[in-house]
Amino acid sequence: MIHAAIIGATGYAGAELVRLLGGHPEVEITGLSSVSFAGQPIADVYPNFKKKALPVLTDEDTAIQGADVVFASLPHGLSEPLAEKCAAQNTLLIDLGADFRLESEADYEEWYKKPFDKPELHGGAVYALPELFRDRIKTAGIIANPGCYPTAAALGLAPALKNGLVQTEGIIIDAKSGVTGAGRGLTQNTHYPETNESISAYKIGAHRHTPEIEQTLSHMAGVGIKLTFVPHLLPVNRGIEETIYVKLKDGVTMDAVRSAYVEFYKDEQFVRLEKDGNVAQIRCVTRSNYCDISLHCDKRTGTLIVCSCIDNMVKGAAGQAIQNMNIYFNLPESMGIDALPAGF
C-alpha cells in the first residue's frame, strides 16, 4: 500500500483528495493536516466522511511522517518549505499549488510577487499534465500539478499547435469556472447573492494562470506564445468551460483538424472528443477526471473554436494529482479515478 498524506486537507481540493484517495485500492491515507481544524476529525468539517476511518487532522510535520507521497493543497508560497521536508525524508511531493508550475523565476516573481525561496528544488520539479508530459513524471523529484484553467486550455489546443494547424498569434481563451475554483474562504465576489443568477468576468488580462497557459502552449507550438485569457465566475459549484478562439492557417480544413485531434488523443482514456455538431458541456464531466472537447469552425473568419470542459476539482486538481501518482508508482493510470461523470 502507498501511504499518503494530504496537507491542506480541509480546503476544497484537499477534501476532494480525501474523497478520491479514500476509495483508491492501493492507497492508505496516513496523515491529514489543517491549520484551522487541527485535533478534529475531518468528518466534523465535511460530514460526508462520516464512518470512514481517517486520521485526525494534525499539523504538517506530524502528517507527513512515514508517507510515501505527500499531496499539498496550499496557497502559493507554502509548498517550497514543505518540498524541502519531503526531500529530506525521500518522499514524493505532488503540489497542487503554484510554487513549482512556472519554469521561469522571473515569471513567477512578476505574477506572484515573490522570488523562488528555494531555487535549488526547482530543477527536480516536473510540470505534470499526463497527456502531454507523461514520460517525465516517472523520474520527477517534485510533481507540479497543473492548474485547472491551464489544464482545459492545454488539452483543448495541444493537437492544433503541435501539428502546426493554427496561427500562434491572437489566441483568445474565454473561460468560465464554478465557484469552488476560488477556494473555501469567503470573499464578496463568491458570496451567494453575488454569484447566483449572474456571471461576471474577473482578473481580466491579469489572471495568474496566464503565464502557465502560455508556457505549456509554447512547448506545444515550439515558439513563444502570448494570448488573451479572460476568466468568468459561473453560479455553479464545480466545472470549467473554455471557449478558445484561434485562427486556422491557410488551407487547413476541419477534416484535418479533427484527424489531428483523433490521432493525438486516440490512446487517452480521460480525453473525449465530441462528434461533429455536439458541444462539450460541464454537466457531462461533473465529478469525473474526463476532459470533453468539441471542435467548431467559423468559416467566414477562418477561426477554429474549441470548447474544452473539465471538473475543476477532479481533472483540474485532485483527480489529475492522483493520475500523476499512479503514473509515478507504476499503477494503472485510471486506478481510483475511473468513475463516470455524474451527468447532472
Span 107-143, pLDDT tens digits: 999 999 999 999 999 999 999 999 999 999 999 999 9
**Is residue 171 a contact partner of residue 157, using CB atoms and an 8 Å limit?**
yes
The single residue listed with the C-alpha cell 489544464 is 151
Distance CA 231, CA 200 (A): 9
Task: Spot the catalytic one: 86, 148, 284, 309.
Answer: 148
57 CA to centre of own chain: 25
pLDDT at 189: 79
Please identify, in words, the CATH class of the domain defined by 2-145+315-328. alpha beta
Distance CA 204, CA 252 (A): 31
Listed residue (275, 151, 264, 261) closest to 216, CA to CA: 151
Tell me the pTM: 0.96
pLDDT at 128: 98
pLDDT at 186: 67
Instruction: Record the cell numbers describing residue 302, joined without a space.
Output: 477562418
Distance CA 63, CA 67 (A): 8
Distance CA 246, CA 278 (A): 19
**Is residue 54 a contact partner of residue 41, using CB atoms and an 8 Å limit?**
yes
* Residues 6 or more apart whose Cβ sits within 8 Å of residue 325: 2, 4, 69, 92, 94, 143, 331
309 part of the active site: no
Low-confidence ranges of the chain (pLDDT < 70): 186
- Hey, is 177 helix, strand or coil? strand
Q: Where in the chain is the domain with CATH 3.30.360.10?
A: 149-313
pLDDT at 328: 98
State the alpha helices, DSSP H only, in the chain: 12-21, 60-64, 79-88, 105-112, 130-137, 148-162, 192-195, 210-221, 254-264, 319-328
pLDDT at 344: 79
pLDDT at 194: 84
- Hey, is 275 helix, strand or coil? coil
pLDDT at 95: 98
pLDDT at 84: 96
Instruction: Record the cell numbers describing residue 68, joined without a space.
Output: 510515501
Pick the CATH number of 149-313 from 3.30.360.10, 3.40.50.300, 1.20.120.140, 2.40.50.100: 3.30.360.10
Q: Centre a 10 Å sphere on the Cβ of residue 68 and count the other Cβ atoms it contains.
A: 18
Beta strands in the chain (DSSP E): 2-7, 27-33, 57-58, 69-72, 92-95, 125-127, 142-144, 172-177, 200-201, 228-233, 240-247, 271-273, 291-298, 303-310
Q: Where in the chain is the domain with CATH 3.40.50.720?
A: 2-145+315-328
pLDDT at 198: 92
